[in-house]
Chains A and B, each alone.
Chain A
């Protein structure tokens, strides 16, 4: 089997309990480069727990996450050294939070927010860092004249786009997104979705998008996991799950909303 056919990330039997409360149970799937996987379900279904385990922010009680490092070797992320894990966080992974304030440094300029990720991986040339920051602001449709402002002055949509720029500047191979359009107005959502869609296709990265919005899932993802009560109850192609839902709960989800 050649490298391109091997998954980028493999989740196996992920299980997490919070005391006696189940977080997620026996979740397994894999994802390849260029794929966008949506994880849908209502609040408390285990989506966010899963995302935190996948991105090694949380340790599972059972199961493991394996990730193909840039050298082509697939490793258990629980067994990585601290330096390797840092590398993943700073470079190879992105994490887009629902609340941009959680993913940005609100007191420093937009340019510094983008440049910081580059400096963390060793970039030192001020002109080049600023050049990259300007380029990325333009790509996420933020006026370059506003590079020296802090995100405190930005609207919600702009902050979210800035957070995306900050994440993508290091050319990650995998991006985790937690309700990326969650707190935004509908018109702003459309712009962000279009932008995300374009960037994901252009950069060929893999993305795992947690959302309760089936329209977002339809637009962004090729594959989908439906979660309920901590378990994955249905999975498949996004159009398959939405247009031919098999499980009672998925049918309820799909029939409860306006057609996405």
Chain B
């Protein structure tokens, strides 16, 4: 049974400050992801790959169709869910690694990573966060520092650690390896493999051909969902 299914999902931006200009993003998005499967969304920049991830996460509202997420025995339609239902999915069902880390002033890297599990002051979340940071080769001297001053690659590894830490049935990955060196890319590929073996349904956007061939069970071409511009 699918962990996630998009059924005719559609998104158009209406730009009121541009005279109500309508900017079609995607339409008729149709694919599903089984537990333990990794689906990679492919297509050129601007085809709507990241937008589809944001629709699943609930950041972008879905204008039409359904985005069904399995939560235990129930299926929740993100397109029709209340804010509270989406928050519950985010805290229990879906994990996500965005393209960039949103840094919060003063919060140390270790706390950022541990947050989805709890407070870094508590033994269990801290130990798990430390282990994940070690696997991603983040030097220990950085753990107690806020990531604002970190390099792009370091920030991205903090972001990855945070997204991979909780065990959730669904994992969304938006360019997780973009700013990483070969060794860390390999480490992320390894982590994705582990998630799949534990039954996580993964939806990823990756530009790196090598990473894509190593993680993808199936490739969904997003250009088929491109909606022609309206007159």
- Identity of the chain A residue whose Cβ is nearest the Cβ of B11 in the assembled complex: A244
Q: Given the known A-B contacts A237-B83, A243-B54, are A190 and B106 also in contact in the complex, defined by CB atoms under 8 Å?
A: yes
Complex contact B16–A190 (CB within 8 A) = no
Bound CA span A211–B52, Å: 31
Is residue A147 within 8 Å, beta carbon to beta carbon, of the partner chain?
no
Q: Which residues of B contact A223 (CB under 8 A)?
A: 83-84, 87
Neighbouring B residues of A191 by C-beta, 8 Å: 105-106
Interface set, chain A 39-83, CB cutoff 8 A to B: none
Least Cβ–Cβ distance between B160 and chain A, in angstroms: 19
Q: How far is the CB of B123 from chain A (nearest CB, A)?
A: 16
Asked if A251 and B105 sit within 8 Å, CB to CB, the answer is no
Nearest-neighbor residue (CB-CB) of A190 within chain B: B105
Chain B, Cβ-Cβ closest to A247: B16
CA distance A35 to B87 in the complex (A): 10
Whether B59 sits at the interface, judged by CB under 8 Å, is: yes
Count of residues in A whose CB is under 8 Å from the partner chain = 25
The A/B interface has a contact count, at CB < 8 Å, of 54
A252 interfacial by beta-carbon distance below 8 Å: yes
Q: What distance in Å separates the Cβ of B92 from its nearest Cβ neighbour in chain A?
A: 14
Q: Which residues of A contact B87 (CB under 8 A)?
A: 222-223, 237
A contacts with B: majority SS: helix
Q: Is the CB of B59 within 8 A of A243?
A: yes
A240 lies within 8 A of B105 (CB): no
**In the complex, are the beta carbons of B16 and A32 less than 8 A apart?**
no
Tell me the count of chain B residues lying within 8 A, CB to CB, of chain A: 19
What 1/0 flags go to B5-16 for Cβ under 8 Å of A?
000000001111
Contact B17 A197 (CB under 8 A): no
Are A237 and B86 in contact, with the CB atoms below 8 A?
Answer: yes
Residues of B51-78 contacting chain A, CB below 8 A? 54, 58-61
**Known contacts being A236-B83, A247-B16, A251-B16, is A194 close to B104, with CB within 8 Å?**
yes
Please state if A248 and B17 are interface contacts (CB–CB under 8 Å): yes
* Residues from chain B with Cβ under 8 Å of A247 in the complex: 16
Chain A residues contacting B86 (CB-CB under 8 Å) are 237
Q: Which of A35, A201, A239, A255 contacts B59 (CB 8 A)?
A: A239
The residue of chain B having its C-beta at the shortest distance from the C-beta of A194 within the complex is B106
Q: Contacts of B61 on A, CB cut-off 8 Å?
A: 236, 240, 244, 246
Q: What separation, in Å, do the CA atoms of A252 and B15 have in the docked complex?
A: 10
Q: A197-B104, A236-B83, A244-B61 are in contact. List 12 more A-B contacts (CB 8 A).
A: A32-B84, A191-B106, A194-B105, A202-B119, A219-B104, A223-B87, A236-B61, A237-B83, A239-B59, A240-B61, A240-B83, A247-B16
Sample 6 A-B pairs with CB under 8 A, ordered by A number.
A35-B84, A191-B106, A194-B105, A194-B107, A219-B104, A246-B14
